[in-house]
Amino acid sequence: AKQRAGSACEFFEPRMNVRSRARLEAEQSLGRAIVEREFLLEYQPKFRADSRKLCGFEALVRWERPGLGRVSPADFVPAAERTGQISALGQLIIDTATQQLRDWLDRWGLLVPVAVNVSPLQFDDIGFADRLLARLDELGLPHQSLEIEITETAAIGHLGRVLPQLQRLRKAGVLCSMDDFGTGQSSLTMLRQLPISTMKLDRSMIDPLPEPQASAIVKATCALGRSLSLEVVAEGVENEQQAQAARELGCTQLQGYHLSRPLGAVAAGELLGRSLA
Ligand code: C2E
Ligand code: CA
Ligand code: CA
Ligand code: CA
């Protein structure tokens, strides 16, 4: 029996090691990168659909790996969620975005809100909302200068943790967006349950505009948003035709490469200064 157990171990152990070693390596390099602060934020502007005036930014994280270049969040955010490191990374992102807001406020005297993407796992820490509010207060920032973006699909699975904290943040004035609207499975239920101020229509809804069926769906969705007093952002606007269609159909804000790519902090600050002037 002993021998059999031994050979079973020989058979399984190397494979487990490969898997856990790969995981451990990912975990270590992410962990080191968090300590070394190898992450930076880019800021993609959002504009009023009617006047095309700047009305906000969305912070998007990038990982600058020394010698390896820039890694997309699509590649490391899911890994950070799997390893439990999203809390530390998310905290770093919030600290960076709020410090940036403070710097812009000092420089220009005025602000537009900055939206930060938040993973639902960050709400597993029940101190998340309180810490965020404390951070804003510590920096003397109005609560409405920060917005959090959360995907509906992500919120569903963590509603018990997410809902009370979102409610607390909304009551305190922090803005809240439902991201990637139209890609999940229970958009309408979530609209009723989550205390949101904005819905962001996913690029997949905007991309086919001005095709008639897509237009009908966007129009009805905007009407719903309006009747709930929500801002409706068209995401992923890539050409003028889409921009005009989105505005005519009722989207209140536009975001996408056609209006602006995500900008580095310096360029974003300059755009902010020009827009407020
Ligand atoms: P998202 O929140 O839906 O962000 C929009 C993504 O679309 C961004 O990609 C943005 O650069 C890209 N985009 C903007 N305009 C256009 C356009 O006109 N056309 C096209 N094709 N793409 C456009 P990015 O920066 O690679 O981010 C990908 C995803 O990674 C984000 O999707 C979000 O889910 C996640 N992510 C990004 N930053 C963070 C973060 O700080 N924290 C967390 N938890 N997730 C983040
Ligand atoms: Ca987003
Ligand atoms: Ca989105
Ligand atoms: Ca997305």
Q: Phi and psi of 212, rounded to 5°?
A: -55, -45
Range in 33-47, 132-146, 156-170, 193-207 with the lowest mean pLDDT = 156-170
4-51 pLDDT tens trace: 444 444 455 555 566 667 667 777 889 999 999 999 999 999 999 999
pLDDT at 2 over 60: no
- Average pLDDT, integer, range 144-161: 88
Predicted TM-score of the model (pTM): 0.92
- Among 75, 98, 117, the mutation site with the greatest number of ligand 1 atoms within 8 A of its Cβ is 117
Q: Which amino acid is at 227?
A: S
Strands 231-234 and 198-201, sheet pairing: parallel
CA distance 199 to 186: 14
Instruction: For residue 60, give the ligand 1 atom closest to its CA.
Output: 38
Instruction: For residue 180, give the ligand 1 atom closest to its CA.
Output: 3
Higher-pLDDT residue of 185 and 244 is 244
The confidence score (pLDDT) of residue 184 equals 77
Mean pLDDT, the chain, whole residue set: 91
Residue whose Cα lies nearest atom 23 of ligand 1: it is 236
pLDDT at 268 over 50: yes
Give the rounded distance of the alpha carbon of 134 from its chain centre: 20
Using alpha carbons only, what angle is made at residue 265 by residues 70 and 148, rounded to the nearest 5 degrees? 90
Residue whose Cα lies nearest atom 35 of ligand 1: it is 73
Which token pair is 30? 């992410």
The confidence score (pLDDT) of residue 145 equals 98
pLDDT at 70 over 70: yes
Determine the distance separating the centroid of ligand 2 and the alpha carbon of 58, expressed in angstroms: 7
The confidence score (pLDDT) of residue 5 equals 46
Gap between the terminal Cα atoms of the chain: 81
- Average pLDDT, integer, range 240-257: 98
Range in 43-52, 77-86, 140-149, 152-161 with the lowest mean pLDDT = 152-161
Which token pair is 85? 């490191």
Which token pair is 248? 């005519």
Determine the distance separating the centroid of ligand 1 and the alpha carbon of 180, expressed in angstroms: 10
> HSE-up of 36 (CA within 13 Å, CB side)?
11
CB 107 within 8 A of CB 140: no
How many Cβ atoms from other residues are within 10 Å of residue 18's Cβ?
A: 10
Q: How distant, in Å, are the alpha carbons of 72, 75, 96, 111, 112 from that of 103? A: 26, 30, 11, 10, 13
CA distance 246 to 238: 11
CB 201 within 8 A of CB 217: no
Determine the distance separating the centroid of ligand 2 and the alpha carbon of 13, expressed in angstroms: 41
Q: Which amino acid is at 112?
A: V
CA distance 105 to 110: 5
Q: Rounded to a whole number, what is the largest CA-CA distance in the chain?
A: 81
Determine the distance separating the centroid of ligand 3 and the alpha carbon of 258, expressed in angstroms: 16
pLDDT at 158 over 70: yes
Residues lining ligand 1, judged by CB closer than 6 Å?
44, 59-61, 72-74, 77, 93, 117, 119, 179-180, 203, 236-238, 256-257, 262
The confidence score (pLDDT) of residue 155 equals 78
Which token pair is 78? 């899911």
Please determine, for the modelled complex, whether the ipTM score is greater than 0.90: yes
How many Cβ atoms from other residues are within 10 Å of residue 22's Cβ?
A: 10
The helix (run of H) or strand (run of E) holding residue 39 is: strand 39-48
